[in-house]
Structure 1
Amino acid sequence: MTTVAFLGLGVMGYPMAGFLARAGHSVRVYNRTASRAEQWVGDYPGTVCATPAEAARGAELVFACVGNDHDLREVVTGDSGAFAGMSPGSLFVDHTTASADVARELAEKAREQGTGFLDAPVSGGQAGAENGVLTVMVGGEKGDYERARPFIECYARAVSLLGPVGSGQLCKMVNQVCIAGVVQGLAEGLHFARAAGLDAEQVVEVISKGAAQSWQMENRYKTMLAGEYEHGFAVDWMRKDLAIVLDEAQRNGALLPVTALVDQFYSEVQALGGGRWDTSSLFARLMNVRSFD
């Protein structure tokens, strides 16, 4: 049994921490909304802590999965932050989708106090977290990666070291770029099928057997056609991720015209009141396109 801490019990962190507990580890949890942490210890064996520092004190590994750069700094730094409670030789593993800059910044602070740091954003959504089949993209030192990998594999089916600190976040940015383009293409395809008088479900059944097949097509086309979006990865979070992507592209010179356009489309979905809708709601925008003429 290893003592670990998990900071952030949202739709992703809640089941991820649960898999660590089920694997037999002694899990100490912190969540900004304390009632959520109390709910977690009702479902899994573990200990609720009042601050990130308290959760991290005595833990060999500290995991975090929070909202953004600001949230991450809030749970890591300061007198009550995780770094204040971590001992030399312990390891911080960040599953937040954040900027590569904040990963490098916090890794440097960790190095100064003798602790390790990995940026390890995840892909697979809420369903992937609940089923323990996430994909994890890691940046950091190889030794730290090998130390963390058996723990990460409690809730992941694929985990890879991409390079130095920041590489995991950069890889996640690529992931979001590809998803944005695929979802928009699927939305336009379904929209075109309906406009052409075709049975859209039958069309997907045919083309999904060929080169057009994608995870988004297989898992989202039925709910898109039904106009159901109260599930999955929220538009608000996708826009947060795409803002990180576009900011990074400004620095590295990458040309992302489609990504920038899809980000604009997602802003229109937000204007429809769909900030918490699944990212597949790009189809809803096409059904309401006259609202933006």
Structure 2
Amino acid sequence: MYELFQAIIMGIVEGLTEFLPVSSTGHLILTGELLGFTGEKEKTFTVVIQLGAVLAVLVLYHKRFIKLLNFNFKKDSGLNALHIILAMIPAGVFAITLHSLIKKYLFGYETVLIGLIAGGILMLVADKVRRPVISEELDDITYKQAFIIGLFQVLALWPGFSRSGSTISGGMLFGTSQKAAAEFTFIVSVPIMAGASLVDLLDSSENLAMSDFPLFAVGFIAAFIVGMIAVVTFINMMKKIRLSWFSYYRFILAAVFFFIMMK
């Protein structure tokens, strides 16, 4: 029964933090340590619940994804498949090339701590610079901006940096509004996260057992439901609050990480 409680908490944490610029990886590692939810099976569990968060975005933006299947690349067509492809290329190349090294060397307390602080600083810079907005809405984003956001997404391969934090910052530094950058981040994250999660799932398939199905299912459902709520809430927040607020939260979380590491 306690394992199911752990699964629900971890699923809630994943759903809340995956699309916020606060690092879901950092939160999951910290929460797992606090709950005693660690080990190889638990690592596989986090991959499964990430797919729950991916499904949340797919459901919320299903009309957008259907439209992308038209492959209309005209400039006046708004957001199209080419935007997504351009944004995926940089992170995709680095992820495929460095996947094993990232898993081996970058998933630990120290590296997550560095990522939280560095990502927070980047977000502060993006918020303070406040470049003139030329792309107010999602459909206004240019191919050049899409590719640049993709370059910033490479930073998210460092655990703790945060995919949404780095990509929203990149968008704002190159002329998109906070809201447009956030929505673009959510949509681009679906193929990237789905691909990475499926690769991880295949690599760790030996840790899967039918007896663990209730545990994985509970975590998946929790991440899906909370993820939907978090995405809608975050988009509304992006109209009202500054990105720097999330930076300060990251610095506090980094301090908590440091305290736990020193124990």
TM-score normalised according to structure 1 size? 0.23
Larger Rg, first or second structure (1 or 2): 1
Q: Higher helix fraction: Structure 1 or Structure 2?
A: 2
Structure with the greater relative contact order (CA < 8 A, sep ≥ 6): 1 or 2? 2
TM-score normalised according to structure 2 size? 0.25
